[in-house]
Amino acid sequence: MNFVIIGGDAAGMSAASRAKRSMPDMKVTVLEKTEDVSYSACGMPYNIADENRELDDLVVRKAEVFREKQGINLLTGHLVESIDTNGRSVVGKIQGSGETFQYAYDKLLIATGGRPKIPELPGFDLPGVLALKSLEDGRKIKAYIQVHPVKKVVIIGMGYIGMEMAEALRERQIAVEMVKPGPDLLPWMARDLAGVVEKELKDNDVQLHPGCEVSRIEKSGDKLEVLCKDRSLDADLVLVAVGIKPNSELAVDAGIDTSVGKAIAVNKTMQTSDPSVYAAGDCADAFHVVTGERVWIPLALRANRAGWAVADNVCGKKTKLQGIAGTAVFKVFNLQVARTGLSLEEARRFGFTAEAVSIKSSSRAHNHPGARPVWVQLVGEKKTGRMLGAQMVGSESAAHRINAAVVALHSHMTVADFIQTDLAYAPPFGPVWDPLLTAANQLQKRMQ
Amino acid sequence: MNFVIIGGDAAGMSAASRAKRSMPDMKVTVLEKTEDVSYSACGMPYNIADENRELDDLVVRKAEVFREKQGINLLTGHLVESIDTNGRSVVGKIQGSGETFQYAYDKLLIATGGRPKIPELPGFDLPGVLALKSLEDGRKIKAYIQVHPVKKVVIIGMGYIGMEMAEALRERQIAVEMVKPGPDLLPWMARDLAGVVEKELKDNDVQLHPGCEVSRIEKSGDKLEVLCKDRSLDADLVLVAVGIKPNSELAVDAGIDTSVGKAIAVNKTMQTSDPSVYAAGDCADAFHVVTGERVWIPLALRANRAGWAVADNVCGKKTKLQGIAGTAVFKVFNLQVARTGLSLEEARRFGFTAEAVSIKSSSRAHNHPGARPVWVQLVGEKKTGRMLGAQMVGSESAAHRINAAVVALHSHMTVADFIQTDLAYAPPFGPVWDPLLTAANQLQKRMQ
């Protein structure tokens, strides 16, 4: 069997490795347009923070290992230009030489990932206006900082990549200003929790300009100028971090269905609307375990897991993925910010009669040295009592505590049942009633 | 209604407060034999570690608050000596004066807690041979160290209280040796994980003497001598930490049933074999959510939760507790040690066709600065695929990661379903595949 994979990052290489392990005789070909495969994209901000580290430190497994030890036909610099679903083949061009190639497949995996959204506005193509998604993007940012005297960066966007980069740049003593068009920092977050994040950014000298829609970027001497309606911000480098979009054009052109956010629609076995074609990773959608609806939340664990599921299904071992809970966690300076499931607003938008509580608790027993505040928001459905989502912010423990709520969401647990869980307690690690339990106790009262 | 509570610590005062909040007209009387109520016993080792802190810092709420603000008839120094279940009254003596008292009840809660097991061997009553359970025990240990030149302590027992005390004493530059009769440190733990704990103790200059059964303690000049079969250890203070037993004698004398370990048997509403009498806290048993069987695992969260449940049931609001997962967590120097559910041996003893894997993973992404090893053991049932238990050891994140497994046990989740959970990922907080997921992936393979 010919198993062809377009894209050699998390989803693509996970699928290739697992398929080759399951069925060593299978011909597995990976067509990757860049020279980079299998790297930890999420580690880039922390790598950029340290001028002594190479971006290549983030490579999880080298191309030679895939080729020589695993027997995968890994072809880098191979840009696929179209898929012929009737003839079951892909054609494309080798970067540099321009030579064309064609590969026939029995099963195809589209794992083309995503790319940063770049506003179609004047100046976003100027040198020094950069985005962060691929390893090559990371190299460009790091090289730019090395070559130019970068004293100040303006980050367009205040999502988690923007925040992680703000921390990385402050680590390197670079001034940071952030702009976004909307009025609210992290609009999906409970306002009191978002306030804690905002304070952390300000305490670390990050200047925030919400409600500031960028209209264009101009070059002004050695500097760049980011122009909004009522202000202009000068910068040595501008980072565009307003989100990503799925690389689904190849699939669309081949007549394959897409869904939310133009992500490629897949069923629970990762099959697209063409049964011989699978999709996985940042280019594909998923089912949400709380709503049961299709969502597009491109994150690393799902990409790896989906890659494995594709391999299993291609190898004849029926594997269904239940879906995602929309769990995300990030670090902003000394804060851990975590979420899973639905926010109160999302829950109401999906038709749930949702209630929520926000509480402030403690990372350790209240009288224990080093105890730090932990904020929790918990969302539940009044009618069924079911837990719908959780958010946490705190300088310790929030990133791992959230996982108890994640498992509860996968189990469709009620808040009343969650209250009964025998969560771990010892004074150095939390109050007797875990912050999540305190929130659940209060939410239960409100829902009655 | 007259609601009488014997014992004024976690379970007793939780029940008293909640009953009074629910039904302000109810007469709530708490009979506590000591002068201490409502304190964090689990915080004692950390308090003892710091010579500048008073034990009273661990009092959660003062007696006056219960009496004056909450209207609870809280009587300290009141030792109950017997319960008349036919006449529905308790009688006892006031400490000091010796005056007798009698209180009639409509509903009674026995929340008498537990006390340290003290071997009935010569010398265990010598001055300087101390145990740790009540606040008064803590005061005695602290006072002894203050008054005597304590350079070395022998701890009899290697359970978690022994280990927490070892850390506390090393913090105060006191040499520590630990003895126990059995050959294995933490016998319930996977051997590779227990080895990590053993190394941590040794790295912190705690001398371990397993396989060493103490036959007696003798006074020898200014020192104590702990005598085993083949060796004797000198000490300035001996700490006895070989476990606790339930204070269930009052209940037994009143004809109330007990179960495992002579703990008072309660149903899911916390009722004893006498429907007017409830029991909660360290003196009462519980159902285990994995086995469905009665167990006696006295821990703080259960005590608080059971106290609340008693109050609800006494106030006519039917509340059932599902049970406990046997979750426990403790700190040993720089290690976090956590467990929930059954160990492999326990699972087999309960008749499960159990399998287990142990893995070593990382607390952060493998290439992330500061990543530390995390060890996980996961136990599952071959026949049903169900998850049965988890253990974790590591210098960061283990104490909070375990909670994902706790919720899975409460949900009777299979390992296959757990593998699908959307646990949080970001490089500062874990590998893409959470250590629990990596363990689950491997366990699933072994169970197939």
pLDDT of residue B229: 87
* Number of structural domains in chain A: 3
Q: Residue A412: give its domain's CATH number.
A: 3.30.390.30
- Record: contact A427-B321, CB cut-off 8 A: no
pLDDT, tens digit, for every residue of A7-33? 999 999 999 999 999 999 999 999 999
**Which one of B403, B425, B441 would you mutate to disrupt binding with A, by most A Cβ within 10 Å of its Cβ?**
B403
- Record: contact A403-B403, CB cut-off 8 A: yes
pLDDT, tens digit, for every residue of A85-141? 999 999 999 999 999 999 999 999 999 999 999 999 999 999 999 999 999 999 999
pLDDT of residue B352: 98
Distance from CA of A214 to the nearest CA of B (A): 29
- Record: contact B407-A425, CB cut-off 8 A: no
Residues from chain A contacting residue B305 (CB–CB below 8 Å): 420
Please give the share of chain A, as a percent, with pLDDT higher than 70: 100
Say if residues A256 and A246 touch (Cβ distance below 8 Å). no
Domain assignment of residue A164, given as a range: 118-240
Is residue A122 domain-shared with residue A111, that is, in the same domain? no
pLDDT, tens digit, for every residue of A55-74? 999 998 999 999 999 999 99
List, in order, residues 6 or more apart from B351 with CB less than 8 Å away.
none
Asked if residue B434 is part of any domain, the answer here is yes
Lowest mean pLDDT among A50-59, B110-119, B341-350: A50-59
Say if residues B132 and B138 touch (Cβ distance below 8 Å). yes
Say if residues B281 and B266 touch (Cβ distance below 8 Å). no
- Record: contact B421-A325, CB cut-off 8 A: yes
Mean of per-residue pLDDT scores for chain B: 97
- Record: contact B411-A406, CB cut-off 8 A: no
Cβ of residue B427 closer than 8 Å to a chain A Cβ? yes
What's the average model confidence in pLDDT over A218-231? Answer: 94
A 188-247 residues inside an 8 A Cβ radius of B: none
Residue of B nearest to A410 (CA): B421
Residues from chain B contacting residue A326 (CB–CB below 8 Å): 422
Lowest mean pLDDT among A59-63, A155-159, A264-268, B28-32: A59-63
Residue A437, CA atoms < 13 Å, CB-side half-sphere: 21
**DSSP for B228-263, written as a single string:** ESS-EEEESEEEE-S-EEE--HHHHHTT--B-GGGP
What's the average model confidence in pLDDT over A155-171? Answer: 97
Cβ of residue B287 closer than 8 Å to a chain A Cβ? no
pLDDT of residue B367: 81
Cβ of residue A431 closer than 8 Å to a chain B Cβ? no
Asked if residue B20 is part of any domain, the answer here is yes
Is residue B360 domain-shared with residue B415, that is, in the same domain? yes
Residues from chain B contacting residue A46 (CB–CB below 8 Å): 368-369, 427-428
pLDDT tops 90 at residue B243: yes
List, in order, residues 6 or more apart from B302 with CB less than 8 Å away.
A422, B281, B286, B324
**DSSP for A227-255, written as a single string:** EESS-EEEESEEEE-S-EEE--HHHHHTT
**A67 DSSP 8-state letter:** I
Confidence of residue A367 (pLDDT cuts 50, 70, 90): confident
Confidence of residue B5 (pLDDT cuts 50, 70, 90): very high
Residues from chain B contacting residue A42 (CB–CB below 8 Å): 365, 425-427, 432
**Which one of A366, A421, A437 would you mutate to disrupt binding with B, by most B Cβ within 10 Å of its Cβ?**
A421
pLDDT of residue B91: 98
Nearest to B304 among A411, A426, A433 (CB): A433
- Record: contact B413-A411, CB cut-off 8 A: yes
List, in order, residues 6 or more apart from B297 with CB less than 8 Å away.
B286, B324, B326, B328
Distance from CA of B225 to the nearest CA of A (A): 33
Q: Which of B109, B112, B78 is nearest to B95 (CA)?
A: B78
A 334-393 residues inside an 8 A Cβ radius of B: 336, 338, 340, 365, 367-369
The angle subtended at Cα A238 by Cα A234 and Cα A244, nearest 5°, is: 145
List, in order, residues 6 or more apart from B121 with CB less than 8 Å away.
B214, B215, B216, B217
Residue of B nearest to A330 (CA): B426
Asked if residue A321 is part of any domain, the answer here is no
Is residue A440 domain-shared with residue A345, that is, in the same domain? yes
Confidence of residue A304 (pLDDT cuts 50, 70, 90): very high
pLDDT of residue A234: 97
- Record: contact A429-B368, CB cut-off 8 A: no
Q: Which of A130, A144, A139, A204 is nearest to A171 (CA)?
A: A204
d(C-alpha A325, C-alpha A402), whole Å: 11
Nearest to A428 among B289, B299, B331 (CB): B331
Residues from chain B contacting residue A421 (CB–CB below 8 Å): 325, 403, 406-407, 410
Confidence of residue B159 (pLDDT cuts 50, 70, 90): very high
Is residue A157 domain-shared with residue A230, that is, in the same domain? yes
Q: pTM score, two decimals? A: 0.97
β-strand partners of B444: none
- Record: contact B424-A417, CB cut-off 8 A: no
Is residue A226 domain-shared with residue A274, that is, in the same domain? no
pLDDT tops 90 at residue A167: yes
Q: Which of A367, A372, A427 is nearest to B59 (CA)?
A: A367
List, in order, residues 6 or more apart from B140 with CB less than 8 Å away.
B130
**Which one of A407, A409, A448 would you mutate to disrupt binding with B, by most B Cβ within 10 Å of its Cβ?**
A407
Residues from chain A contacting residue B301 (CB–CB below 8 Å): 422-423, 425, 432-433
A 57-86 residues inside an 8 A Cβ radius of B: 57-58
A419 phi and psi angles, rounded to 5 deg: -55, -30
Is residue A418 domain-shared with residue A275, that is, in the same domain? no
Is residue B87 domain-shared with residue B229, that is, in the same domain? no
Nearest to A43 among B46, B403, B427 (CB): B427
Q: Which two tokens stand for residue A167?
A: 């921390």
Is residue A343 domain-shared with residue A443, that is, in the same domain? yes
**B431 DSSP 8-state letter:** -
User: What is the separation of C-alpha A336 from the centre of its chain, rounded to a whole number of angstroms?
Assistant: 16
Nearest to B400 among A46, A330, A401 (CB): A401
Strands ordered across the beta sheet of B175-179: B129-131, B237-240, B152-156, B175-179, B206-209
Say if residues B282 and B333 touch (Cβ distance below 8 Å). no
Distance from CA of B130 to the nearest CA of A (A): 22
pLDDT tops 90 at residue B448: no
Cβ of residue A175 closer than 8 Å to a chain B Cβ? no
What's the average model confidence in pLDDT over A222-246? Answer: 96
Strand pairing report for B223-228 and B114-116: unpaired
B 293-322 residues inside an 8 A Cβ radius of A: 299-302, 304-305, 321-322
**Which one of B331, B400, B437, B445 would you mutate to disrupt binding with A, by most A Cβ within 10 Å of its Cβ?**
B400
d(C-alpha A164, C-alpha A158), whole Å: 10
Is residue B347 domain-shared with residue B430, that is, in the same domain? yes
pLDDT, tens digit, for every residue of B334-387? 999 999 999 999 999 999 999 999 999 999 998 899 999 999 999 999 999 999
Domain boundary among A314, A347, A368: A314
Give CB contacts under 8 A, 24+ apart, made by A99-103: A101/A31, A101/A75, A103/A2, A103/A4, A103/A29, A103/A31
Asked if residue A49 is part of any domain, the answer here is no
d(C-alpha B135, C-alpha B146), whole Å: 16
pLDDT of residue A31: 98
pLDDT of residue B366: 84
Domain boundary among A211, A240, A269: A240
pLDDT of residue A267: 98
What's the average model confidence in pLDDT over B163-169? Answer: 98
Asked if residue A395 is part of any domain, the answer here is yes
Is residue B229 domain-shared with residue B279, that is, in the same domain? no
Nearest to B399 among A368, A404, A429 (CB): A429
d(C-alpha A283, C-alpha A265), whole Å: 9
Distance from CA of B350 to the nearest CA of A (A): 20
Instruction: Choose the catalytic residue: A42, A212, A228, A315.
Output: A42
A 12-51 residues inside an 8 A Cβ radius of B: 40, 42-43, 46, 50
Domain boundary among B190, B221, B240: B240
Q: Residue B286: give its domain's CATH number.
A: 3.50.50.60
Residue of B nearest to A431 (CA): B301
d(C-alpha A138, C-alpha A164), whole Å: 13
Is residue A267 domain-shared with residue A278, that is, in the same domain? yes
pLDDT, tens digit, for every residue of A371-382? 999 999 999 999
Asked if residue A327 is part of any domain, the answer here is no
Distances (CA, A) of B425 to A169, A196, A241, A244, A337: 22, 21, 20, 18, 11
Cβ of residue B329 closer than 8 Å to a chain A Cβ? yes
Is residue B236 domain-shared with residue B196, that is, in the same domain? yes
Nearest to A40 among B322, B421, B427 (CB): B427
What do you get for the CA distance between the two ends of chain A, in Å? 58
Annotated active-site residue A228? The verdict is: no
Mean of per-residue pLDDT scores for chain A: 97
The angle subtended at Cα B364 by Cα B360 and Cα B370, nearest 5°, is: 105
- Record: contact B289-A422, CB cut-off 8 A: yes
Q: Which two tokens stand for residue B309?
A: 């449940």
d(C-alpha B369, C-alpha B429), whole Å: 11
Say if residues B444 and B415 touch (Cβ distance below 8 Å). yes
- Record: contact B422-A324, CB cut-off 8 A: yes
pLDDT of residue A229: 87
Asked if residue B50 is part of any domain, the answer here is no
Between chain A and chain B, the number of residue pairs with CB atoms below 8 A apart is 198
Asked if residue B323 is part of any domain, the answer here is no
Q: Which two tokens stand for residue B11?
A: 């379970």
Q: What is the ipTM of this complex?
A: 0.97
Residues from chain B contacting residue A330 (CB–CB below 8 Å): 426
pLDDT tops 90 at residue A366: no
